[in-house]
Structure 1
Amino acid sequence: MFKNYLKIAWRNLVKNKGYTLINVGGLALGMAVTLIIGLWIQDELTYNSYFQNKTKIAQVFQSQTFNNETGTGPAIPRPLEKALREGYGDNFKHLVMVTWTGDRYLKYKETNLSRTGNCAQRETPELLDLQIIKGEKDGLREINSIMLSESTAKALFGDEEPIGKTVQVSNQYDLMVTSVYKDIPVNNSFNDTDYLIPWEQYLATTEWVRNAEDSWGNNSFQMFVQMADNANMDRTSESIRNVKKDLNEDTAEFNPQIFLFPMEEWYLRGNFENGKQTGGRIKYVWLFGFIGAFVLLLACINFMNLSTARSEKRSKEVGIRKSIGSQRGQLIYQFLSESFLVVLFAFFIALVIVLLSLNGFNELARKEIAFPWSNPVFWGISLFFVLFTALLAGSYPALYLSSFKPVDVLKGTFKTGRYAGLPRKILVVLQFTVSVAFIIGTVIVMEQINHAKNRPVGYDKEGLIQIPTFSQDFSGKYDLMRTEFLSSNAVVEMSSSSSPTTRIWSNRGGFTWEGKPEGFQEDLAWTEVSPEYAKSLNLKIVEGRDFSREFATDSLGVLINETAKKYLGMQNPVGKFLKDDDEEDPGPPLKIIGVVQDMITQSPYEPVKQGVYVYDRFNNSSYYNLRLNPEKSSSENIAVVERVFKEHFPDIPFEYDFIDEEYGEKFASEERIGSLSGIFTALAILISCLGLFGLTSFVAEQRTKEIGVRKVLGASVFNVWNMLSKDFLKLVTISCFIAIPISYYIMNGWLQDYPYRVILEWWIFLLAVVGAMGVTVLTVSFQAIKAAKANPVKSLRTE
């Protein structure tokens, strides 16, 4: 029986090639979009699934309150390790201190590489369940050991056996390779861990870390834990909440709250606002999930509309079948089998579309999604997906067509009724409501990105590069390198800084100043710079003066930004002092010599943070900042800079970043979302237009004789076009009126996540309306004009 249904379905599809093409094409596009979005969502939801202990791993987080505003993050003080081990050790199977991920130079013979990694305590490989390829899992047991990822070991040693070989780290100390572990996949939080160095080595070579053993106020560390088998993470998190406040009175004023942040939530729910978890990338998962569902719905609506629109052509078929004994249930099965056949064809075409577009999608989304050919779960879900889509697309046409009465049909008295087309009109309205909403949403996303991009940066990022200086080899050589670079004529100015231009690496408090309010808890972005910092960045001095080597007292001078001036409550800050309030070991007072223009160093969507730029007395630079010669090409300048660099640092890889590219990365996430939304919006509109094209074609065919009569009576092409177009334009107008308030509500809520945001203006909504109307007119006009120009003799000669 089912085989017979499929035969009939196939014949109907072949007989009506135009409608079949529209149905199959629309469904294939909709299903392809849904499949790609499904693969993207699956990749997002399985982030960190590489780690078998994912549900038991957490990072220790801390919330602190400054002037009634609570900030939350992973930075914790070093003494917390001892407090948790001694007071709560039974709750943890592993507890490890780990440095922030950073770059180091790894050298073996003539090979010198820059790689990212961490210094970590001995149990870290066990906590992360690293897959050891060579050597031992307990590879951090000895102070002079190092563990390497497979790709790093291959790059350093080639085909040589790496175990037991000695690697020189940042030209500072030698370590022996004890283990090689499998590279951690991209969709994981530790994917950039190319090496692991023992924590004890970090302590031995870094004095300030050793001195921070009892410093509760130095939040410069991070800690990870794996829960014991019988321990509950939530209860443990609650029990350690006040441990820092209880053990250290000096930091109690900031109400420090310690808690465990589960690995399962790091990636998708990592945002905190005023001490409360507020979500994160999970909003994009929901967003694209809704987009995928709606795009598929649009494609199904096309199928429903075209199937029911052709009801009169199939009414006699239904009447004859019913008259010879077919039950309504059998007819429903027949029409559903036709729907299944269309969806199955569409699914295979959708697979081809996905395979052809996956590489481009990965590049755009910055993913490494592979098609899951060997995954039985995927194929099981795909089968359900096909059946669900067939049922969704075919249920209404099957119920509608099978309801015809055979007596009326065969006597020729069957009429579809004046309201028969109402469901189709509702579906068209729904289609274009979704499409218009997509247009508005995409425009607002792009406007928000451009709004932030057009925000004054505060410095000149064009022609500015930064070179990392993560080695002792750079110590004490700043003045020499500045002279060399300036003499090369490739650089017009140079400075050094303890943080990159586009980041804030350090925040400090503990100062007093004239007029400081009682109980005020300051939090200042702290950057140590060479005297030429403002000049190299073309940073404007708005009050006072810049650093000068001619004034010896400037070694205890500071520059503050405009936001810091307001934050500190200083009307005339130049000449005022910032004094260390540490009674036991107060540092020298720092004199404010100038105020610089605000520069964006964090997110361009957030307010500029209050910043202090301190004269670098202790050579704490992490970057050289070079202003390239604007009269020469960048490639020419870079070649000269590299030559000079290699003359002085032959054993260190030459690396640099253009600041404008680094700054552009701040928009990368939103731009990817905007680009993907734009593509999916275009496809949604295309699917809607396919349906509209098919309906217009059917209406024109249905009213062929009417059009012929009208033309004989003198109707113009415009009259006929207007007759066929106005009903569809009315439906799209209704769609716009529905879509605008819905879009406004949703996008206004989305914008609330950005303190620096675009204002929703009327032209955005007008643009979407005009766009939808224009697309409708173009789509309808093709069939309408074709029908209007047809020879009326051909349509009337059978009368």
Structure 2
Amino acid sequence: MFRNYLKIGWRNLLKNKAYTLINIGGLALGMAVTLVIGLWVEDELTYNDHFENRSKIAQMFQSQTFNSQTGTGPAMPRPLEKALREGYADNFKYLMMSSWNFPQYLKYGEISISRTGSFMQREAPDLLELEILRGEKDGVREINSIMLAESSAEALFGKEDPIGKVVEVNNEFDMMVTAVYKDIPTNNAFDDLEFILPWDKYLAESEWVREAEDNWGNNSFQMFVQIAENTTMEKVTSTIRNVKKDLNEDTAEFNPQLMLLPMKDWHLRSNFENGKQSGGRIQYVWLFGIIGAFVLLLACINFMNLSTARSEKRAKEVGIRKSIGSQRNQLINQFLSESFLVVVFAFFVALIIVLISLNGFNDLAKKEIVFPWTSPFFWAISVVFILFTSLLSGSYPALYLSSFKPVEVLKGTFKAGRYSSLPRKILVVLQFTVSVAFIIGTVIVMQQINHAKNRPVGYDKEGLIQIPAMSEDFSGKFELMRDEFIGSNAAIEVSGSSSPTTNIWSNRSGYNWEGKPEGFQEDFAWTEVTPEYASSLNLRIVEGRDFSREFASDSNAVLINETAKKYMGVSNPIGMLLKDDDEEDPAPPMKIIGVVQDIIAQSPYEPVKQALYVFDSEENSNFYNLRLNPKQSVSQNLAIIERVFKEHFPDLPFQYDFVDQEYAVKFASEERVGRLAAIFTALAILISCLGLFGLTSFVAEQRTKEIGVRKVLGASAFNVWNMLSKDFLRLVTISCFIAIPISYYVMNGWLQDYPYRVIISWWSFALAMLGAMLITIITVSFQAIRAANANPIKSLRTE
């Protein structure tokens, strides 16, 4: 029986080729979009699935409150490790301190490369479940050992066995390779861990790290844990929540609260608001999941509309079948079989579309998604997907067509009825409501991105590059390198800084000043800079003066930004002293000599943070900031700078970043969302237009004789076009008025996550409405004009 249904369905598809192409094309596009989004969502949800013990692994976070504002982050103090190991060891299987992931220079023989890695404690290989390819798993037990990722080992040693070889790190110390581990997969929080150095080496080489052993206020480290088998994340968090607060009075005023952030939340739920989790990328997962569902719904609506529009053509078939004994359930099965056949064809076309577009999608979404050919789960889901889509798209036409009464059909008295087109109109309204909502959402996302992009940065980022200078080789050589770079005519100004221009690496508190409110809890962004910093960035001094090497007193001078002036509540800060409130070992007071313009160093969607720019008296900058010579080409400047760099640092690879490109990275996530949303919106509109095109063709075909009579009686082509177009324009207008309030509510809620946000303007809705009208007119006009220009003699002939 089913075979017979498929055979009849196949004949019907061949008989109505245009209808079949529109149906299969629309469904294929909808299914392709849904499949691609499904693969993206699966990739997001399986982030960190590489770890078998991911349900037990967590990162330590802490919340601190400054002036009623609670901030949460992963920065930890060193004393916490000792406190947890001594008093709470039963709660953990592994506890590991780690530095932040920084690029380091690795050298073997004549080969020098830059790779990112961390200093970690001995628990690292077990906690990170490293797959050891060569050497020992306990590869960082010795102070002079190093573990390399497979790609790093290949870059340094080629096909040589790296075990036992000596690698020079940052031209500072020699480390022996004790293990090579398999590269951690890309869909993973540790995918850029390209080497691991021993924590003991970190202590031995860095005095400030050793001094932080008993300093609860120095939150400069990370801590990862794997909890014990007999407990839960919630229990451990409850147990350790107040450890820092209880053990250190100096930080108790900030009400530090510890918590474990489970590995499953690192990627999707890592945002916090006032100490509480407030989502994260999970919002994008929901967003694209909803988009995928609606795009598929649009494609299914096309099928329903076209099937019911052809109802009169199938009426006699239904009448004859019923008159010779067919039951309604048999007719329903027949039409569902046809739906199933169309969906199967559409699915295979969708697979082809996905395979063709997957590389481009990966580039756009910054993913490495591979089509899951060998996954039984994927194919099982695909079967369910096909069946679900077949039912969704075919159920209404099957129920509608099988309800015809055979007597009326065969006597020729069957009429579709006054309200028979109402369901189709409702479906068209639903289609365009979704499409218009997509248009409005995409426009507002792009507005928000451009709003942040057009925000004044505070400095001139064009023609500015930064060179990392974190090796000991750079120590004490700033003035020499500055003279060399400027003397080569490749740069017109050079400065040094402890943080990159586009980020803040350090925050400080514990300062007093005249007029400071009682109980005020200060928190400043801290950057050490050389005197040329403002001039190299073209950073404007709005009050006072800049640093100067001519004034010896400037070694204890400080610049503040405009936000810091407001934050401190002072009208004339020039000459004021910032005093260290550490009574036991206070640092010399710093004199405010100037106020600089605010610069965006963190998120462009957030307010600028109050900042201190401190004189770098030791010239141990982590970055060189070079203002390129505008009179020469960029490539010419870079070639000269590289030559000068290699003359002084022949063993280090030459690296640099354009500051404008680094700043652009801050918009990458939102821009990817915007571009993907725009593409999916365009496909949703295309699918809706396919359905509208098919529906218009059937309406024109049904009214062929009416159009012929009207033309004979003197109707113009415009009159006929207007007659066929106005009904669809009316439906689209209704869609717009439904979509506008829904879109406003959803997008206004989305914008609340951004302190610096665009105000939704009326023209966003007007533009979407106008676009929907224009698209409808273009889509309908082809068939309408074709029908209007048809010869009325041919349409009125009865033979």
TM-score (norm 2): 1.00
* Cα deviation 1:621-647 (Å, max 9, x = unaligned): 110000000011100100000000000
Q: Which amino acid aligns with 1:793?
A: I
Counterpart secondary structure, 1:504: coil
Counterpart secondary structure, 2:399: helix
Counterpart secondary structure, 2:25: helix
Query: Matches of 1:356 and 1:734 in 2, distance apart?
Result: 37
* Cα deviation 1:234-289 (Å, max 9, x = unaligned): 11111100011111111100000011110110100000011110000000000000
Give the conservation status (yes or no) of the 8 Å contact 1:467–1:655. yes
Counterpart secondary structure, 2:161: coil
Query: Matches of 2:35 and 2:693 in 1, distance apart?
Result: 25
Residue number in structure 2 paired with 1:260: 260
Residue number in structure 1 paired with 2:602: 602
1:130-209 paired onto structure 2 within 5 Å: 130-209=130-209
Query: Matches of 1:324 and 1:135 in 2, distance apart?
Result: 80
Query: Matches of 2:515 and 2:270 in 1, distance apart?
Result: 37
Residue number in structure 2 paired with 1:477: 477
Query: Matches of 1:61 and 1:386 in 2, distance apart?
Result: 44
| Structure 1 residue 51: Cα displacement | 1.0
Q: Which amino acid aligns with 2:162?
A: P
Residue number in structure 2 paired with 1:545: 545
Residue number in structure 1 paired with 2:555: 555
Residue number in structure 2 paired with 1:413: 413
Query: Matches of 2:308 and 2:130 in 1, distance apart?
Result: 58
Stretch moving more, 753-762 or 614-623:
614-623
Counterpart secondary structure, 2:625: strand
Q: Which amino acid aligns with 2:197?
A: I
Counterpart secondary structure, 2:55: helix
Q: Which amino acid aligns with 1:129?
A: E
| Structure 1 residue 570: Cα displacement | 1.1
Residue number in structure 1 paired with 2:733: 733
| Structure 1 residue 678: Cα displacement | 0.1
Q: Which amino acid aligns with 2:141?
A: R
Residue number in structure 1 paired with 2:226: 226
Q: Which amino acid aligns with 1:52?
A: E
* Cα deviation 1:20-41 (Å, max 9, x = unaligned): 0000000000000000000000
Give the conservation status (yes or no) of the 8 Å contact 1:528–1:620. no
Give the conservation status (yes or no) of the 8 Å contact 1:99–1:118. yes
Counterpart secondary structure, 1:290: helix
Where structure 1 has 5 or more consecutive residues not aligned to the other structure, the ranges are none
Given the alignment of the two structures, is residue 444 of structure 1 paired with residue 448 of structure 2, yes or no? Answer: no
Counterpart secondary structure, 2:706: helix
1:23-62 paired onto structure 2 within 5 Å: 23-62=23-62
Query: Matches of 1:687 and 1:112 in 2, distance apart?
Result: 53
Residue number in structure 2 paired with 1:746: 746
Query: Matches of 1:674 and 1:260 in 2, distance apart?
Result: 33
* Cα deviation 1:691-744 (Å, max 9, x = unaligned): 000000000000000000000000000000010000000000000000000000
Give the conservation status (yes or no) of the 8 Å contact 1:558–1:615. yes
Give the conservation status (yes or no) of the 8 Å contact 2:474–2:620. no
Query: Matches of 2:755 and 2:620 in 1, distance apart?
Result: 33
Counterpart secondary structure, 1:220: strand
Query: Matches of 1:357 and 1:592 in 2, distance apart?
Result: 57
Q: Which amino acid aligns with 1:411?
A: K
* Cα deviation 1:443-493 (Å, max 9, x = unaligned): 000000000000000000000000001100000000000000000001000
Residue number in structure 2 paired with 1:488: 488
Give the conservation status (yes or no) of the 8 Å contact 2:493–2:535. yes
Query: Matches of 1:440 and 1:632 in 2, distance apart?
Result: 44
Give the conservation status (yes or no) of the 8 Å contact 2:476–2:620. no
| Structure 1 residue 233: Cα displacement | 1.6
Residue number in structure 1 paired with 2:455: 455
Residue number in structure 1 paired with 2:279: 279
Residue number in structure 2 paired with 1:638: 638
Query: Matches of 2:162 and 2:132 in 1, distance apart?
Result: 13
Query: Matches of 1:704 and 1:775 in 2, distance apart?
Result: 24
Residue number in structure 1 paired with 2:777: 777
1:640-679 paired onto structure 2 within 5 Å: 640-679=640-679
**RMSD across aligned C-alpha pairs, in angstroms?**
0.5
Give the conservation status (yes or no) of the 8 Å contact 2:606–2:756. yes
Query: Matches of 1:685 and 1:80 in 2, distance apart?
Result: 56
Give the conservation status (yes or no) of the 8 Å contact 1:145–1:198. yes
Residue number in structure 2 paired with 1:109: 109
Residue number in structure 1 paired with 2:511: 511
Counterpart secondary structure, 1:627: strand
Counterpart secondary structure, 1:176: strand
Query: Matches of 1:42 and 1:286 in 2, distance apart?
Result: 12
| Structure 1 residue 231: Cα displacement | 1.9
Counterpart secondary structure, 2:7: helix
Query: Matches of 1:266 and 1:617 in 2, distance apart?
Result: 39
Residue number in structure 2 paired with 1:124: 124
Counterpart secondary structure, 1:601: coil
Query: Matches of 1:249 and 1:477 in 2, distance apart?
Result: 41
Where structure 2 has 5 or more consecutive residues not aligned to the other structure, the ranges are none
Give the conservation status (yes or no) of the 8 Å contact 1:53–1:128. no
Given the alignment of the two structures, is residue 591 of structure 1 paired with residue 591 of structure 2, yes or no? Answer: yes
Residue number in structure 2 paired with 1:354: 354
Q: Which amino acid aligns with 1:340?
A: F
How many residues align structurally?
799
Query: Matches of 2:40 and 2:511 in 1, distance apart?
Result: 48
Give the conservation status (yes or no) of the 8 Å contact 1:452–1:757. yes
Residue number in structure 2 paired with 1:702: 702
Q: Which amino acid aligns with 2:6?
A: L
Counterpart secondary structure, 1:476: coil
Counterpart secondary structure, 1:236: helix
Given the alignment of the two structures, is residue 793 of structure 1 paired with residue 773 of structure 2, yes or no? Answer: no
* Cα deviation 1:34-77 (Å, max 9, x = unaligned): 00000000000000001111000001110000000000000011
Counterpart secondary structure, 1:367: coil
| Structure 1 residue 619: Cα displacement | 2.8
Query: Matches of 2:45 and 2:596 in 1, distance apart?
Result: 44
Query: Matches of 2:657 and 2:304 in 1, distance apart?
Result: 54
Counterpart secondary structure, 1:72: strand
Query: Matches of 1:639 and 1:255 in 2, distance apart?
Result: 52
| Structure 1 residue 620: Cα displacement | 3.3
Counterpart secondary structure, 1:221: strand
Counterpart secondary structure, 2:268: coil
* Cα deviation 1:565-622 (Å, max 9, x = unaligned): 0001110001111000110011111000000000000000010000000000133311
Q: Which amino acid aligns with 2:73?
A: G
| Structure 1 residue 136: Cα displacement | 1.3
Query: Matches of 1:585 and 1:203 in 2, distance apart?
Result: 22
Give the conservation status (yes or no) of the 8 Å contact 2:318–2:401. yes
Residue number in structure 1 paired with 2:374: 374
Query: Matches of 1:619 and 1:210 in 2, distance apart?
Result: 22
Query: Matches of 1:448 and 1:69 in 2, distance apart?
Result: 25
* Cα deviation 1:482-519 (Å, max 9, x = unaligned): 00000000100000000000000000000000000000
Query: Matches of 1:117 and 1:339 in 2, distance apart?
Result: 55
Residue number in structure 2 paired with 1:687: 687
Query: Matches of 1:183 and 1:90 in 2, distance apart?
Result: 32
Give the conservation status (yes or no) of the 8 Å contact 1:558–1:590. yes
Query: Matches of 2:24 and 2:782 in 1, distance apart?
Result: 21
1:322-337 paired onto structure 2 within 5 Å: 322-337=322-337
| Structure 1 residue 141: Cα displacement | 1.2
Query: Matches of 2:754 and 2:436 in 1, distance apart?
Result: 24
Give the conservation status (yes or no) of the 8 Å contact 2:97–2:222. yes
Counterpart secondary structure, 2:76: coil
Give the conservation status (yes or no) of the 8 Å contact 2:476–2:618. no
Query: Matches of 1:797 and 1:298 in 2, distance apart?
Result: 38
Query: Matches of 1:702 and 1:155 in 2, distance apart?
Result: 70
Q: Which amino acid aligns with 1:195?
A: F
Q: Which amino acid aligns with 1:277?
A: Q
Q: Which amino acid aligns with 1:424?
A: R
Residue number in structure 2 paired with 1:613: 613
Counterpart secondary structure, 1:790: coil
Residue number in structure 2 paired with 1:92: 92
Q: Which amino acid aligns with 1:278?
A: S
Query: Matches of 1:273 and 1:578 in 2, distance apart?
Result: 30
Residue number in structure 1 paired with 2:296: 296
